[in-house]
Amino acid sequence: MAATEIRITGFGGQGVILCGYIIGKAASIYHDQHATLTQSFGPEARGSACSAQVVVSDSRVLYPYVTSPGIMLALSNDGYLTHKDTMAEDCILVYEKDLVKPEKDGPKAKAFGVPATRIAEELGRKIVLNIVMLGFFGAVTDLVPAEALRKSVETSVPAGTEELNLKAFDKGYEYGVHLKEKVELKV
């Protein structure tokens, strides 16, 4: 596999950096791949622009910066608008469908939306929307195996929140599997 560039974008407080960390850890620790993580965020604790860039590869990553992501996770519309023009031509866009409105005449990407905030609220904690997105990402991209991502979630979240976060991951993953089945049936 050639290196896959991933950009996760949103705003501070949505768990964007943790999401990137979990993907990189899943790939490098639990799936025998190589990964790098770089991050960018504003000085505010919450509400400022935030992004994480992950490069996943079967061989050593020689350049850790994302220039043209093949996968973009958008947790906020501002993040999507800021970074949409950097997406690769065949990019997979994974987005929070209640918060992000991909432009119909924007970059040509295979787009998959999930109501991650609503699912997280149904679980009782809006803060796990990033983990719902992570499960959904796992299902629609097949870049890193679900079990590697799940193990990374379990070992990366704060102690005492593992069960809730794993439920959030599973809900996002299930939503993605069902969405992919619908798409495949239409073809």
Above pLDDT 70, what percent of the chain?
92
Task: Please report where in the chains the tokens 């992919």 appear, as a residue.
Answer: 180
Q: Which residue has the higher pLDDT, 142 or 105?
A: 142
Rounded CA separation 125/28 (Å): 29
Name the band, by pLDDT with cuts 50, 70 and 90, for residue 159: very high
Encoded tokens for 13: 């407080």
For 72-121, how does the pLDDT look when each residue is reduced to its tens digit (9 = 90+)?
999 999 999 999 999 998 899 999 999 999 877 666 778 999 999 999 99
Contact between 21 and 52 under an 8 Å Cβ cutoff? The reply is yes
Query: CA nearest 114: which of 87, 137, 85?
Result: 137
Mean pLDDT estimate for the chain: 91
pTM: 0.92
Residue 43: its pLDDT value, please?
A: 63
Query: CA nearest 176: which of 148, 142, 144?
Result: 142
Domains of the chain: 4-186 (3.40.920.10)
Q: Is the pLDDT of residue 154 over 80?
A: yes
Residue 187: its pLDDT value, please?
A: 44
DSSP codes of every residue in 125-173: -GGGHHHHHHHHHHHHH-SS-HHHHHHHHHHHSPTT-HHHHHHHHHHHH
**Which SS3 state, helix, strand or coil, does residue 100 take?**
coil
